[in-house]
Amino acid sequence: RFDGLIERVAVSVDLVELHISDRIGTTIGHSDPSRVGERLVGSAVGVFESPHASRAFGDLLRGQAIYGASAPVMGGTRVLGVVGIRFRSDEISQRIGRILASAVGMGLVWLLIGAVVGSIYVRRITQPLTLLTTAAGAITRGELDGVHLDPPQTLDEVGVLQSSFLHLVVALRDERGKTERLLAELERMNVRLRDRVEEVTADLRATSGYLQSVIHCMEEGVITCDAEGDIVQANRGAAQQLRGFVRPDPGVAVAALLPDPEPLVEAVERAIAAGATTRLELERRAAPAADPEHEHVDGVALGGLRTVGFRVNPLHGADRTTLGALITVIDLTDARLVDAQLRRHDRLISLGTIAAGLAHELGNYMHTINGFSALLQASTADDDPRRPDVDAVHNENLRAVALLDRFLEFARPSAERFQAAHVGGLVREALDVCAWKLRQAEVEVDLRLDPDEGTVVCDSRSLLQVLVNLIFNAADAMAGREPRRLRLQTCQDGERVRIIVRDTGSGICAEHLDRIFDPFFTTKAAGGTGLGLSIAHQIVDRHGGRIQVRSEPQAGATFTVTLPAGGPTRDGQRNGDRGRHRGGGAA
């Protein structure tokens, strides 16, 4: 049925295959009659198969491409079957070849154009941008001098960017110049500032050093403690004033300074908590000096009971916060001894005044009695039974006159002649005078004379009297005791010469210590007048010196006579006297 149709088609094209199939896919007509009756895979759906054209590019170019097409055969809206054709066409192949050739040509042209445009892009945009990036990197690293940029060639965006960048570099160089100038100025100011700081620091150091040395040179003790009551600083004076107690080193608690420290600790606590200032005078027992020869330091007697004065103030910081307490310390032992001596001196003066008048009056009567008793004695025969009574009256009267003369000596001393003398010589002379007494009492003498001692200007007769009296008293105090050792020592310390008389006798109880210099105070049952020490006191006083005693019962006694080296000055005031003790007649 379809042969005519197939022939007509075969005439018009180079037919490879033409097939017609019904709607269920059975080939009902075919250019190859042997294939009629074959089943088409997918039946009429084969309409939607791709045409069987060769897609090989080479086939196309060689004109060997096979083109194919299929289409449904419709009867109204019903699919009746499928017709498919495959054929070769030189004309189509040639046309496709031409199109392909022109497409390749166009492609090459566009590639060329792209390459040209690319190179222009690289030259005009990428290269300047790379240079700019490198320059930016150099700027970031601070290598501003290493940035070399050519002026822009064009005024497009890149050119504008380049020129802005160049301006930026110039501005940065300017800024760097300014910064360098500022830095140089800053450096100069820095140097000036450093010099000034060094100057001020040196000033501060000098001021602080000056203050420190003032504080350290002070005789008074200065101690600072923190809020816990521990010592922060103490000057040399503090250690000196507290000799014999615990050394006030930094870190030592105030409470550990001396025995029974409660009043001092309370004063420190009051200063810290309430900002209160407290004055204290404490009497405490100090440890004796390790070496008894150094028991006096700067006039301060070490060991035994000592009177120490404290003044406790709050210590404020610059912002008024309380840092701790400031304690000033002064050893008042010597001052209190001087006070006692002054009181005694006053007592002696008034006693002396009264006694002098009385003694003068009594003396008149007694000298009269003496004259008459002498006459009575002369007119009474030796074998007269009344003779012993007359002798007794006369002798007792003589003793009374002698006592009265001694007393008048105390009340109205005879004229003294001051001359320079070595105390060592006077001590030796006194020992000679007392030799018989010391031998009799079997006293061992330990003489320690300072080879460097200077002279004192004194009335040597009076001073000898003082020393003899002290030696006699020492010998009396050691009678019947063991050991019996008398030490006589001289030493010079600056403006003062000291004579120390120490014995191992009975000692003096506290109650008597204050009275032994009073006239007529004696504990001796027989032979004591109680005038020796009061006369000694008077004499030493007239020499501008002082006499001190330290003793405890059963522990011996130490009498120290301190005299100004060089003696009294022309106006009658003694060296080292400071105007308190006047020479001349005390009564």
State which residue, 84 or 413, has the beta carbon closest to ligand ADP.
413
Question: How many residues at the interface with ligand ADP, by CB under 6 A?
Answer: 21
| 558 sits near ligand ADP (criterion: CB under 6 A) | no
Candidates 477, 491, 499, 500: give the one binding ligand ADP (CB under 6 A).
477
Structure letter (DSSP) for residue 39: B
Give min distance, CB of 288 to ligand ADP, in A: 19
| 503 sits near ligand ADP (criterion: CB under 6 A) | yes
Stretch that binds ligand ADP, among 233-241, 326-334, 373-381, 517-525 (CB under 6 A): 517-525
Candidates 258, 434, 533, 539: give the one binding ligand ADP (CB under 6 A).
533
CA–CA separation, 287 and 333 (whole Å): 14
Stretch that binds ligand ADP, among 48-56, 265-273, 414-422, 523-531 (CB under 6 A): 523-531
What lies within 8 Å, CB to CB, of 501 at 6+ separation is 467, 470, 471, 474, 486, 487, 488, 558, 559, 560, 561
User: 280: burial class by Cβ within 10 Å (0-12, 13-18, 19+)?
Assistant: middle
| 430 sits near ligand ADP (criterion: CB under 6 A) | no
| 557 sits near ligand ADP (criterion: CB under 6 A) | yes
Give min distance, CB of 470 to ligand ADP, in A: 7
- Asked if 348 and 537 touch (Cβ cutoff 8 Å), the reply is yes
Candidates 263, 303, 530, 566: give the one binding ligand ADP (CB under 6 A).
530
User: 265: burial class by Cβ within 10 Å (0-12, 13-18, 19+)?
Assistant: middle
| 524 sits near ligand ADP (criterion: CB under 6 A) | yes
State which residue, 22 or 518, has the beta carbon closest to ligand ADP.
518
Closest CA to 450 of 486, 495, 498, 501: 498
Of residues 86 through 125, those in contact with ligand ADP by CB under 6 A are none
Structure letter (DSSP) for residue 16: E
Q: How many CA atoms lie within 13 A of 215 on its CB side?
A: 18
Q: From the centroid of its chain, how far is CA 179?
A: 42
Candidates 508, 547, 561, 565: give the one binding ligand ADP (CB under 6 A).
508
DSSP 218-255: -SSEEEEEETTSBEEEE-HHHHHHTBTB----TT-BGG
What lies within 8 Å, CB to CB, of 292 at 6+ separation is none
Residue 314 pairs in a beta bridge with: 325
Stretch that binds ligand ADP, among 35-43, 159-167, 410-418, 518-526 (CB under 6 A): 518-526
Give min distance, CB of 541 to ligand ADP, in A: 15
| 304 sits near ligand ADP (criterion: CB under 6 A) | no
| 397 sits near ligand ADP (criterion: CB under 6 A) | no
Beta-strand pair 296-297/278-286 = unpaired
| 233 sits near ligand ADP (criterion: CB under 6 A) | no
Give min distance, CB of 584 to ligand ADP, in A: 22
- Asked if 225 and 254 touch (Cβ cutoff 8 Å), the reply is yes
Q: What residue ranges bind ligand ADP (CB under 6 A)?
A: 469, 473-474, 477, 503, 505-506, 508, 516, 521-524, 528-534, 557
